[in-house]
Amino acid sequence: MRSARPGLTDLGPVAQLRAGRLARRLPQLYVGLALYGVSLALMVRGHLGLAPWDVLHQGLTRYLPLTLGQVLIVVSFVVLLLWIPLREVPGLGTILNAIVIGLAADATLAVLVEPEALWLRTVLMVSGVVLNGLATALYIGSQFGRGPRDGLMTGLHRRTGRSLRLVRTGIEVTVVALGLLLGGVAGVGTVLYALAIGPLAQHLLPFCTVALPGADPSLVVADIPPTRH
């Protein structure tokens, strides 16, 4: 008989730090967030479509004197302001999410050029999506809280009573539409990301979730929706 996989727990910011196993969880958090930034850069250089929020980020770079990573950081903190009326509480992972991903994306973009060959761009796009799924599982599995955009989704879900799927779809359709109006790039990569990221993260999350010693079983979340940064 197989042993049960560790579950994600819904902990407050102080409890996240007191939960233990920091020597495993903190490096995993940083690695996951850094890889997330790398994955975004891969999709940008693939130039075949971006993840929904990144369509918006890229569109904003056309009007702001900021890099893609800097726009991502600014938008993350703007989204965090929306947590206030939703009564969402950020954790360490939430704040680091808002910063590390943008820095990692800019660092990768600085050394990675866009190839001319379509097959190479396709490899970058697919690699970006797969790496994003792994990165998502790593940082969520470290049990340091949701990213800014995830908190917006779950907060709206709680406040409106609408399903997580409906809320997430509504948010992502809105940000893609705004991004396209601003000149962001959507394409086959956007579709692939939308279809693949959920199953990828869902499959990898049980293997990346760090079990917390002495966690209250009542706080274990049985079914975690696919997440975004």
Predicted confidence (pLDDT) per residue in 45-78, tens digit: 999 999 999 999 999 999 999 999 999 999 999 9
Write out the two tokens for 91: 């954790």
Buried/exposed code over 101-133 (b: 16+ C-beta within 10 A; e: otherwise): bbbbbbebbeeeeeeeeeeebbebbbebbbbbb
Q: Is the pTM of the predicted complex or chain greater than 0.95? A: no
Question: Which neighbouring-strand residues pair with 9?
Answer: 220
Mean pLDDT check: name the lowest of 84-88, 135-139, 163-167, 213-217: 213-217
Please give the pLDDT value at position 5: 55
Write out the two tokens for 24: 């495993």
pLDDT over 50 at 178, yes or no: yes
Taking residue 184's Cβ as centre, other Cβ atoms within 10 Å add up to 25
pLDDT, one tens digit per residue, over 111-164 is: 999 999 999 999 999 999 999 999 999 999 998 888 888 888 888 888 888 887
Please give the pLDDT value at position 112: 94
Write out the two tokens for 118: 């379509």
Separation in Å, CA 122 to CA 39, 46, 111: 13, 6, 19
* Average pLDDT in the chain: 86
Q: CA angle at residue 205 from 204 to 208, to 5 degrees?
A: 90
**How much is the average pLDDT of 203-222?**
69
Higher pLDDT among residues 162 and 79, named by residue: 79
Range among 6-15, 101-110, 155-164, 202-211 with highest mean pLDDT value: 101-110
Question: Which neighbouring-strand residues pair with 221?
Answer: 8
Q: How confident is the model at residue 218 (pLDDT cuts 50, 70, 90)?
A: very low
Please give the pLDDT value at position 228: 53
pLDDT, one tens digit per residue, over 14-54 is: 888 788 888 899 999 999 999 999 999 999 999 999 999 99
Per domain, the residue ranges of the chain are 23-210
**Which bin fits 183, alpha (ψ -120 to 50), beta or left (φ > 0)?**
left
Please give the pLDDT value at position 11: 78
Mean pLDDT check: name the lowest of 85-89, 138-142, 193-197, 211-215: 211-215
- Name the residue with tokens 């000149």: 183
HSE, CB side, 13 Å, CA atoms: give it for residue 69. Answer: 21
Alpha helices in the chain (DSSP H): 13-18, 22-46, 52-61, 68-86, 92-111, 118-141, 148-160, 164-181, 188-208
